[in-house]
Copies of this chain bind each other. A is one copy, B any other.
Amino acid sequence: MKRWPKEVQIKEVGPRDGLQNEKNRVPTLDKIAWINMLSDSGVREIEFSSFVHPKWVPQLADAHEVGQKLKRNPNVRYSALVPNKKGLELALEAGIDGASVFMSASETHNRKNINKSIDDTYPVLREVIEGARKEGKHVTGYVSTVFDCPYEGSVSTDDVIRVCDQLMEFGVDDLSLGDTIGTAVPSQVEQLLEQVLQRYPKDRIIMHYHDTRGMAIANIMASMEYGITRFDSSIGGLGGCPYAPGAAGNVATNDILYLLHGMGIKTGIDEKKVQEAAFYIQNKLGKSLPSKSLAYEAAQQ
């Protein structure tokens, strides 16, 4: 039988990647109360918001206030998405512990997402990465569409690695590789990691799966076989797919915890507290979240 990792690190991205895809606005105080619940679950990193311009993501327009008012747990790293220098200033004021920059491995997706070519995006990210590091902040580089792009189809691993190399050179602490549209199957994960792990140490790679077609848990298993022990997830599977409204988004924290704890892999996270936080935001949004293990728990109650 196989040897699985003893411990896995989860980064909770529900308040950012989850919420940014939810239409119904969550009031700022509710959001803070909810992030405080997450802070108390044992998770070690929470991406609590995004400092992109509010016109792009109105749901997260209160990033600054959230950052300033949330109750800090000293065991949690509070990070946020930071698009540019202006965003970094606001984020630092709001008290971030970590900044995440983002870039797509696909030229067309990057242009549609941030109105710039990949090459024109580099200097902007470099400024953020260097600025954040100067302030002693942790920096994560998100690379999106590492398998498939909604516009270009299949994305070559060479394109992924080119972006990774550049972000590493700028000084990111780690890379989060995203299956942004949730198309990947485990054989694609194997192909990517086979090449990526020849260049970077395992502990600097985070895998970021979307469960749009129900493949995320299998992809996480495939990643763990390659020694990956860091994953992003969203509580309850909160969020969705901008390319198919109604479809599922980020893999659910609840489902990952069910998997890992069931396999005897430690996360330090209290499943019950994560469930409570998932029910809380589910009620605020007035809709059921896509996590099947959460739906099971809800049906039991």
Residues on A lying within 8 angstroms of B by beta carbon are 1-2, 4, 182-188, 190-191, 194, 211-215, 217-218, 220-222, 241, 244-248, 252, 255, 258-259, 262-264, 290-293, 295-296, 298-300
B190 touches A1 (CB 8 A): yes
A215 touches B299 (CB 8 A): no
B185 touches A292 (CB 8 A): no
* Copies, count: 2
A227 CB to nearest B CB, Å? 14
Known: A194-B1, A213-B255. A292 touches B187 (CB 8 A): no
A249 CB to nearest B CB, Å? 10
Q: Which of B214, B241, B264, B295 contacts A299 (CB 8 A)?
A: B241
A258 touches B295 (CB 8 A): no
Contacts of A264 in B (CB 8 A): 187
CA distance A296 to B183 in the complex (A): 11
CA distance A218 to B262 in the complex (A): 13
Contacts of A293 in B (CB 8 A): 212-214
A292 touches B262 (CB 8 A): no
Contacts of A218 in B (CB 8 A): 217-218, 220-221, 259
CA distance A182 to B262 in the complex (A): 12
A245 touches B213 (CB 8 A): no
Known: A212-B296, A299-B246. A262 touches B217 (CB 8 A): no
Contacts of A259 in B (CB 8 A): 185-186, 215, 218
Nearest first, the 8 closest Cβ-Cβ pairs linking A and B are A214-B292, A185-B262, A246-B299, A244-B299, A213-B293, A247-B296, A187-B263, A247-B299
Determine which residue in A211, A218, A259 has the highest number of CB atoms from chain B within 10 A of its CB, and name it. Answer: A218
Q: Which of B1, B190, B255 contacts A214 (CB 8 A)?
A: B255
A263 touches B214 (CB 8 A): no
A244 CB to nearest B CB, Å? 4
A-B contact pairs, 8 of them (CB 8 A): A186-B263, A212-B296, A215-B255, A221-B222, A244-B300, A246-B299, A248-B292, A290-B292
